[in-house]
Amino acid sequence: MFQGETSITVDDKGRLAIPAVYRDAVAEQGNRLVFTYNPYENGSLFIYPVAVYEKVREQVAKLPNSSNKHRQLQRKLIGSAAVVDVDGSGRISIPQSMRLTLGIEKKTILLGMDDRFELWTEKAHQAQIEQTVGDDITPEMLELRI
């Protein structure tokens, strides 16, 4: 559904324009998106179409909250989730608390990641790109022909 890397400028009101290449797919999903924190890496947000997010939320909500790790995941994916509507100009507003927490200012990077987007600060994206997979190759990765 979504793929590719796009440099995005956030305006003074905290809005970003969804790239034209994704607008039809977002419209087909109801023109509503959900922002959450990326629970796995610092410096980015996940942006889900509502229907995709609901499936994620269901899975995460079922985790036993007796585990600290589960509660952390639930806070980032459920407790901090914010639903936003796409406006008539194809823009969405990044929640102010998320902008402040991650230090999102003007320049960001939007990654299409199949069924969701990732929104990265420029600095965090650069650091993430500079990392290599290194010795953390999983058996599943070894089976890929890339």
| CA angle 13–45–69, rounded 5-degree value | 140
Sequential pLDDT tens for the chain (146 residues): 899 999 999 999 999 999 999 999 999 999 999 999 999 998 999 999 999 999 999 999 999 989 999 999 999 999 999 999 999 999 999 999 999 999 999 999 999 999 999 999 999 999 888 876 666 788 888 888 77
Give residue 136's pLDDT.
76
The model carries a pTM of 0.92
Confidence (pLDDT) at 107: 95
Q: Where do the domains of the chain lie?
A: 2-142
What pLDDT does residue 131 have? 79
Vertex 25: Cα angle to 21 and 30 (nearest 5): 135
Write b or e for each residue in 95-115: b if 16 or more Cβ atoms lie within 10 A of its Cβ, otherwise e: beebbeebebeeebbbbbeee
Name the CATH architecture for the domain at 2-142: 3-Layer(aba) Sandwich (3.40)
pLDDT at 5 (0 to 100): 96
Candidates 124, 130, 121, 97; CA nearest to 8 is 121
CA-based nearest residue to 7, from 130, 132, 143, 120: 120
**C-alpha span between 143 and 146 (Å, rounded):** 9
